[in-house]
C-alpha cells in the first residue's frame, strides 16, 4: 500500500476542491446570470444530464447551492445560492476581469456591470482596503500563518472536464479552463510562491509527474508561463504578464477558502503588501467610486449574439 503524501495546508487547495472543475464553474456562472431550475442550467451550460445532476449534488453538499421546493404537485425544485455561494462573487469577478483582458473575444457572452451605489458602469478592481491601492502580485509578500501545517494530498476523483467550456455559450471560456482545472491552478499557486523548477512544484503539489508535465506544457502553450533555460540542462518556469495577471483570481479563492475552510488556529498564509509591509486586506472594488462591490448592489446586462441586452439584478 502506497504511503500517503503530505503537502502544506492551503486554503486555495481547499477552495479548488469545491470549484476547481470546469462544469461547476459553468453552473455557477449560469446561477449568477439567473438560472435556477435544472432545465435552465442544462440549456445554459450544455452539460449532459448526468454530469449536470452530479455537479448540482456536489454544490448542494458543499453548501454553495440549496435545493428549494417551488412546486408541490408535481414536486419541483430550483437551486439558489447560499451565503457561502454568494461569497464566491469576488473570485467570479476576478475571473471575469482576467477573461476580458486575456481571453478570446469572439463567440462568447458579454457582461456590462452597473454599480447601484454610484450608478456607474464599472470594471471590478482588486484592491487592498488598508491602503486603497490596486493589488498586483509583484507587490505582495507572504509568510506562514498560525494555521500552517501538513495535510494529506488526497485529490477527489473526478473526470477531467477542462474542455467542457470549449463550445459553451460562456462568459469565461479561457479562465474557466484554468480555474476549472484544479491541477493547473495549483501549479500556478506554486510558481507564485517562488517554486519554479519541476521538482519543487512536484513536491509542493504532489501531482503525479506525468500530469504535472502535461499541465506545464499546457500552461506554456496558453501563454501563461514560459520555460526559462538556466543552463546545464536545468530550467525553470516563470510567469508571463498573462500569468501574473491571474493572481487576483487565486487571491480571492484564498480569501474564500480562509473564510470557510480555515483551521481553528487561523489561516495557513499571511499576506503583506510590500509598499510598507502592512497586512493585505483584499477586496474587489468599483472602478468608478472605489467602494467594495457586493452581488446585491450590482445589476448587469447580458449581451448575447442575436439577442437584445436584458438588465437584471444579481440575486
Helix (H) or strand (E) holding 30: helix 22-32
d(CA 284, CA 248): 9
Cβ–Cβ under 8 Å, residues 25 and 173: no
CATH code of the domain occupying 6-313: 1.10.10.10
C-beta neighbour count of 165 within 10 angstroms: 25
Grid cell of 246 as nine digits: 491571474
**3-class SS of residue 271:** strand
Write out the chain's pLDDT in tens, 315 residues.
444 566 667 889 889 999 999 999 999 999 998 999 999 999 988 899 999 999 999 999 999 999 999 888 888 899 999 999 999 999 999 999 999 999 877 666 788 999 999 999 999 999 999 999 999 999 999 888 888 776 666 655 554 555 555 555 567 888 999 999 989 999 999 999 999 999 999 988 888 999 999 999 999 999 999 999 888 778 999 999 999 999 999 999 999 999 999 888 888 889 999 878 999 999 999 999 999 999 999 999 887 654 444 444 444
Q: Which residues contact 249 (CB under 8 A, 6 or more apart)?
A: 91, 94, 95, 98, 175, 179
The secondary element (H helix, E strand) that includes residue 91 is: helix 89-102
Per DSSP, the chain holds a count of helices (H) and strands (E) of 12, 14
Contact 111, 299 (CB under 8 A): no
Cα 157 to chain centroid distance, Å, stands at: 19
Look at residue 21 in the predicted model and tell me its pLDDT.
Answer: 92
Q: How far apart are the first and last CA of the chain?
A: 49
Say whether 145 sits in a helix, a strand or coil: coil
Which residue matches cell numbers 510598507?
276
Amino acid at each position: 500500500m502506497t504511503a500517503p503524501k503530505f503537502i502544506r495546508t492551503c486554503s486555495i487547495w481547499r477552495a479548488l476542491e469545491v470549484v476547481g472543475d470546469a462544469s461547476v464553474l459553468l453552473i455557477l456562472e449560469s446561477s449568477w446570470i439567473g438560472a435556477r431550475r435544472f432545465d435552465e442550467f442544462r440549456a445554459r451550460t450544455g452539460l449532459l444530464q448526468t454530469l449536470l445532476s452530479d455537479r448540482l449534488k456536489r454544490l448542494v453538499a458543499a453548501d454553495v447551492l440549496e435545493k428549494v421546493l417551488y412546486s408541490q404537485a408535481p414536486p419541483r425544485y430550483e437551486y439558489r445560492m447560499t451565503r457561502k455561494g454568494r461569497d464566491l462573487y469576488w473570485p467570479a469577478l476576478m475571473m471575469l476581469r482576467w477573461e476580458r483582458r486575456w481571453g478570446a473575444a469572439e463567440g462568447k457572452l458579454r457582461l456590462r456591470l452597473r454599480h447601484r451605489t454610484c450608478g456607474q458602469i464599472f470594471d471590478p478592481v482588486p484592491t487592498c482596503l488598508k491602503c486603497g491601492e490596486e493589488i498586483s502580485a509583484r507587490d505582495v509578500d507572504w509568510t506562514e500563518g498560525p494555521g500552517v501545517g501538513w495535510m494529506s494530498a488526497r485529490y477527489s476523483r473526478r473526470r477531467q472536464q477542462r474542455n467542457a467550456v470549449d463550445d459553451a455559450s460562456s462568459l469565461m471560456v479561457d479562465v474557466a479552463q484554468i480555474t476549472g482545472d484544479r491541477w493547473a491552478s495549483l501549479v500556478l499557486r506554486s510558481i507564485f510562491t517562488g517554486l519554479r523548477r519541476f521538482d519543487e512544484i512536484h513536491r509542493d503539489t504532489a501531482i503525479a509527474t506525468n500530469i504535472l508535465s502535461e499541465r506545464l506544457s499546457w500552461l506554456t502553450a496558453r501563454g501563461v508561463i514560459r520555460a526559462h533555460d538556466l543552463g546545464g540542462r536545468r530550467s525553470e518556469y516563470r510567469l508571463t504578464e498573462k500569468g501574473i495577471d491571474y493572481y487576483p483570481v487565486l487571491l480571492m479563492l484564498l480569501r474564500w477558502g480562509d473564510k470557510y475552510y480555515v483551521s481553528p488556529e487561523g489561516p495557513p498564509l499571511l499576506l503583506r503588501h510590500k509598499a510598507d509591509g502592512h497586512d493585505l486586506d483584499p477586496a474587489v472594488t468599483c472602478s468608478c467610486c472605489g467602494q467594495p462591490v457586493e452581488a446585491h448592489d450590482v445589476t448587469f446586462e447580458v449581451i448575447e449574439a442575436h439577442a437584445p441586452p436584458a438588465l437584471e439584478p444579481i440575486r
